Chains A and B, each alone.
Chain A
Amino acid sequence: MGSENKEIIRMEGIYKQFPGVQALENVDFQIHEGQIHGIVGENGAGKSTLIKILTGALQPTSGDIFVDGKKVIISDPIVARNLQIGAVYQDLTVARDLTVAENFFLGQIPKSRFGFVSWRKMVKKTAEILKELNIEVRPNMILEKLTAAQKEMVLIAKQYFKKYRVVIFDEPTALLTSKDTEELFRIIKKLKKEGVGIIYISHRIEEVFEICDTVTVLRDGKKIVSIPINETDIDGLISRMVGRNIDDMYSINHQKLTKEVLRVENLSKTGVFKNINFTVKSGEIFGLFGLVNSGTTKIARAIYGSQKFDQGSIYINSKNVRITSPSMAVANSIGFLPEDKKTEGLAIKLSVRHNINLSSYSNISRMGFVNGKLEKKNALQQVKSLNIKTPSIEQIVLNLSGGNQQKIVLAKWLVSQCKIFIFEEPTAGIDVGAKEEIYKILELLIEKGSAIVMISSYLPELIGIADQITVVYEGTQMGTLSRSEFDEKRLLQLATGVT
């Protein structure tokens, strides 16, 4: 179905080039009235780039977009809004301290005859919409007080209220329980009935089969296929998502694994992850794989002491340790590279020198006084060996490029005396060249006998460099595969909850 309905949007030959990366290559995409069109693909396949182009957040390098057959240029999000294209993002962009009704009318609050806010009108209209969609939320509830699911429902209702013709859902079920998901699907189907075109992005393959009419597979920025959902199955979809050769980029020297350095036993946190077990040896790169919100980063942060866990034990060099804060983790020679470098890894107002030594000041000081010579030496050495492009080590890191900032966060751990490293998406958001340099650094680390726990949602990378991969799906450890057993399709099945 779907295709016999009227076409709303057609994207033709979309290219998007980022510095060093071809994010989209000749992608065509259509959405019809009353169609639910799923987009699937691995991380980095180009899904969010495509969506951002449609919502005006990004401009395509080349290619055309047609609305009702007429060519349009979506130069910014306001244009998208005027074209009645809306999106429900998972990071819930709302005014949290205001009521549901106020959020509905944000920016266009109705006024009474005397120029005052007409609460009556606002509440009445909001109540009507909520009732029509069968959402059990009162218009005067503060958004912050709602559950994640309710917030999402309210956001969707807002799109409905605004009479958007195309609504984009980006991982809408990531924060929802299965019961809430049913509720969400009910509302999406209601939108469909009203003739709204729906773009549905999800990592959960089963969901795509449950709700979508048509599915488009993206891989490495190219459109692989667009087919009606009843002409394919889960297996077919996954093999289309994968189908890639792993190139030499990942050829690193693996070490002989000997001594156990980190062991995690029955690590659990209610509602987040349960019974996680693994052992990492000296010289090993241990992959922790899961799709968005699978719990891998929570597990890593629990080990690093930056988030609490309920149960389980952690052994370092076979000794049981209790780590309740990052500073204790560092004292136990564990280093941690967070995914979001800018907000969690760097003190961007400070100098390159200061940032590189951030975790090492207790090592290069006596009686609390920093040894300035050693500090300088550390910084100069790292700038040289990692090829960090900066005018001097006194440069404020804010003024450096993303790739160089990334290297500085890595350098911080290289000068520390840590032996165990937890790396969260170390190559996210950087170009191919910088990626290769990062792999070389990892190789260097394991050569020196360090152990690396690497969290990545980019499977080819993990398959390329890890010695073992454990897969987590919704907080459950689905299985651990060693290098000889690596199979991209199998790993992806585990990660999408298919056993």
Chain B
Amino acid sequence: MTKDKVKKIIAKIKRITGRFHEMNILLVLIVLIISFAIMNNRFIGFGNITNLLRSTSIIGVVAIGMTFVIISGGIDLSVGSVLALSSVIAARLMLAGVPVYLSIIISLATGALAGLIMGVIIYEARVPPFIVTLAGLSVFRGIAMLLTDAKKIIGLPVSFTNFAVVRVFGLPAMAIVWLVLIIIGVIIARFTVFGRNIYAIGSNQEAARLSGINIRTSIYKVYALGGFTSAVAGILMTARLAGGSPSAGVGYELDAIAATVLGGTSLTGGIGGVFGTFFGTMIIATISNGGNIMGINPFVLEIIIGVLIVLAVVFDHLQKRRGI
């Protein structure tokens, strides 16, 4: 092949992949999976892959909401605490004899409300999201602890806790919830007015405002969405632990941010997407799962993940500087 031909092909690939911000990160994921599969055939087994999906689903769901918040130019540090709060609320309601479905609905509503309250404070009082959600991290965890005396709530109906082990078409139900939410997330981001406006606000809030976009409702909605996905994760967590745990989800905000950033979403807002976050979440999970199977020291894995996050962002910046 001549040099020109190669150039042409590369240009063509760039044209196609350039439209999907997530392509780079998907490539990394594929390379990872293939190399683990080559090194250890246990990794690629159906059982392991579905397990991987199930154990990752909770942080994966949290990361979806986080992605929207970050695209809007904000941040949500309260996700782990909201997760715990919705977990204990759902558990207490079920124990009190409230039907399972109703308990779940109320718990999800609580999560969305928690997010909404933070959104209102962020917009109306113009307090930086970092501060408001840092306070949320503290407050909602505190409420969850108060509600339970810091003890785990057990004895939930089997019909509910079964959810953690049920499979549909061979896939864990928890993973299905995650995948469905990803699809919904992609649709919201790409095909709704709300989604478009969130990108615009994250890219340039003043321009968005002067374009007639209602910043207030968009900010309210995006934090409510963040609270909602945290609550969904809370429900999944409750099912997996077979109980409501006030100490669940500690540190999840950082894991979710890591997955989001690794997936190509810009911390300054305006750029990114839910698919990218899915790949980012999967990369982190794959490294720790594959590494574990191969017997690599888990602390080494943590270092690798940290390096990867920095590399992903550096790579992103380099690409932008070249104006691709």
Contacts and interface: CB of A to CB of B under 8 A. Distances in A.
A392 to B, nearest CB: 9
Contacts of B212: 326-327, 329-331, 335, 359, 416
Given A327-B214, A399-B323, A306 B193 contact: no
Contact of B207 (A327, A329, A330, A344): A344
A105 to B, nearest CB: 31
A372 B196 CA distance: 12
B169 interface: no
B210 A344 contact: yes
Chain A, interface size category, equals: 20 to 34
B323 A358 contact: no
A424 B197 CA distance: 24
Nearest to A330: B212
Given A329-B212, A347-B207, A370 B192 contact: yes
A31 to B, nearest CB: 39
Interface in A301-336: 304, 306, 325-327, 329-331, 335-336
A350 B270 contact: yes
B193 A343 contact: no
Contacts of A343: 204, 206-207
Interface in A99-133: none
Contacts, number: 86
A18 interface: no
B191 A372 contact: yes
Categorize the interface residue count of chain B: 20 to 34
A419 interface: no
A358 B192 contact: no
A325 B200 contact: no
Contacts of A365: 192-193
Contact of B199 (A336, A350, A362): A350
Interface in B173-216: 191-194, 196-197, 199-200, 203-204, 206-216
A485 interface: no
| Interface majority SS (helix, strand, loop, mixed), chain B | helix
Contacts of B204: 343-344, 346-349
Contacts of B197: 361
B271 interface: yes
B19 interface: yes
A325 B193 CA distance: 19
A345 B213 CA distance: 12
Interface string B200-234: 10011011111111111000000000000000000
Given A304-B210, A325-B209, A349-B203, 9 more contacts: A325-B216, A344-B206, A347-B204, A349-B266, A350-B200, A361-B196, A368-B192, A368-B193, A368-B194
20 contacts: A325-B209, A326-B211, A327-B212, A327-B214, A338-B207, A345-B210, A347-B204, A349-B203, A349-B204, A349-B270, A350-B199, A354-B199, A358-B200, A358-B207, A359-B213, A362-B193, A368-B192, A368-B193, A369-B191, A372-B191
Q: Which 5 pairs from chain A and chain B are nearest by CB?
A: A330-B212, A347-B203, A349-B270, A327-B214, A361-B193
Interface of B: 19, 191-194, 196-197, 199-200, 203-204, 206-216, 266, 270-271, 323
